[in-house]
């Protein structure tokens, strides 16, 4: 998905770094594998931007580790917006954030570093999405929602107006969240979370 989104923006993709593939072999979408991350040493940090191809399926630790290690080494990550996404005025999209096809960001929303707003997710006005968070496909955040760092909002979930979800939380697919959730909250799929049932 990341390679496709980059190509749709007109970016030139030089290759992928994947230690599980042999250098020169075909990677995703036929893009050549450069080797492990060490292959980056042969490239100019001032001329190349990176895109994080590691997904987040509820455990963002690998994605976060790669982003932090490479930024600490002086690499910069592209803020990727698929041309089929809609981004309203006054939105802030920070380093390494990825806005995928069909996603909608309404005005005044901030998307933190290395966060993902995935396919057809809808983020209404004045939301704040923390660093490394993942808003999965088809999720809906109503206006003024705050999502903490490294939190996963599952596919098809709905978070109502003004709710605050703490860092490192996991909200299962299809969940309706009507009350704020603490740091580290875990909610199973398909539930309705009200004040009296909040974890």
CA distance 84 to 31: 22
Q: What is residue 129's three-state secondary structure?
A: strand
15 phi, psi to nearest 5 deg: 165, 180
Q: Is the backbone of residue 178 left (phi > 0), alpha (psi -120 to 50) or beta?
A: alpha
Q: 126-133 long-range CB contacts below 8 Å, 24 or more apart?
A: 130/167, 131/94, 132/56, 132/60, 132/63, 132/64, 132/67
Give me the residues paired with residue 110 across strands.
Answer: 92, 128
Q: Which of 42, 82, 125, 152 is catalytic?
A: 125
Sort strands 170-171 and 152-153 into parallel, antiparallel or unpaired. Answer: parallel
Known catalytic residue: 186? no
The 3-state DSSP class for residue 30 equals: helix
Give the integer Cα–Cα distance in Å for 87 and 14. 27
Q: Which residues are catalytic?
A: 125
């Amino acid at each position: 998905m990341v390679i496709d989104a980059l190509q749709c923006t007109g970016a030139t993709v030089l290759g992928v770094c994947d230690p599980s593939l042999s250098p020169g072999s075909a990677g995703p979408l036929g893009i050549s594998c450069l080797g492990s991350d060490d292959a980056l040493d042969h490239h100019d940090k001032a001329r190349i931007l990176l895109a994080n191809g590691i997904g987040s399926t509820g455990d963002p630790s690998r994605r976060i580790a790669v982003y932090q290690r490479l930024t600490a080494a002086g690499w910069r990550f592209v803020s990727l917006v698929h041309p089929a996404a809609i981004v309203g005025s006054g939105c802030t999209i920070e380093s390494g954030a990825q806005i995928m096809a069909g996603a909608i960001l309404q005005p005044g929303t901030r998307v933190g570093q290395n966060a993902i707003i995935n396919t057809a997710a809808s983020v209404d006005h004045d939301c704040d999405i923390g660093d490394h968070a993942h808003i999965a496909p088809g999720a809906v955040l109503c206006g003024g929602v705050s999502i903490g760092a490294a939190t996963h909002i599952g596919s098809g979930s709905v978070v109502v107006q003004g709710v605050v979800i703490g860092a490192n939380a996991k909200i299962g697919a299809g969940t309706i969240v009507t009350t704020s959730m603490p740091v580290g909250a875990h909610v199973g799929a398909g539930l309705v979370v009200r004040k009296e049932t909040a974890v």
